Structure 1
């Protein structure tokens, strides 16, 4: 299966998909040392985003979130790629400076993606693909 979207930060990656139906703040929402979601009340609290394709509606919170995404990459704990419903400047800037492929505006809702499955993101081509 392949779905199209809009490439935001260049590159490609493959990994297991982790989907959130809730936005996330990287500042105080994700531990930059471990890649674990620590935001109180977030439905994925305790999950690691490290090395995974992380799909969520959009970011929220402080512009320092961009630096947290960069710190995740520097610490080897960043997501392999990011998929958003709607990219916003905080997440897009973080993905670009951290070298994390990012895509948004998919042809289908995030909830239709195969949570937990291995997916490939090609932000240069604007595609997300998986078997099945």
Structure 2
């Protein structure tokens, strides 16, 4: 690996595009899957699921990083509702984007990537990143 390759690896993470677009914001990372239905208030973006690591956090404008979605297909419409209410995440990054999250990201026009070349733990809470779903990269700012 050349020095320029190492520098790029530190600032860019390659991933598979699920949707199109770009989003920039602070990372908000969950170590566990998310069910948007019943977990996120669609009018505010507040995470309301009791006992979830993100309980009390707001996902609006954040780069939401989590392993995968779970739960009801209504979760797709919660993501769509968040987008319509201006409370959607700026982007989503998953280890594996399952159908519920993919559909919600498509409907809500939320940039979404999965299968990043690095572990999700390398993206730290509060770190600012740009998710470029058109290019399939996450850029550290």
TM-score > 0.5 by shorter chain: yes
Residues 1:80 and 2:90 are matched in the alignment = yes
Which of 29, 32, 49 is residue 19 of structure 1 equivalent to? 29
Aligned to 2:112: 102
> What is the number of residues matched between the two proteins?
131
Which of 56, 68, 79 is residue 69 of structure 1 equivalent to? 79
Q: Which has the higher helix share?
A: 2
Q: CA deviation at 1:114?
A: 2.8
CA distance in 2, matches of 1:19, 1:114: 7
Cα RMSD, aligned residues only: 0.7
Q: CA deviation at 1:117?
A: 1.1
Point out where structure 2 has 5 or more consecutive residues left out of the alignment.
1-10
CA distance in 2, matches of 1:13, 1:112: 18
CA distance in 2, matches of 1:13, 1:72: 15
Q: CA deviation at 1:19?
A: 0.7
Q: CA deviation at 1:59?
A: 0.5
Aligned to 1:55: 65
Which of 13, 22, 43 is residue 33 of structure 1 equivalent to? 43
- TM-score normalized with structure 2 length: 0.91
CA distance in 1, matches of 2:140, 2:57: 22
Aligned to 2:7: none
List structure 1 runs of 4+ shifted beyond 4 angstroms: none
Question: Larger Cα Rg: Structure 1 or Structure 2?
Answer: 2
Point out where structure 1 has 5 or more consecutive residues left out of the alignment.
none
- TM-score normalized with structure 1 length: 0.97
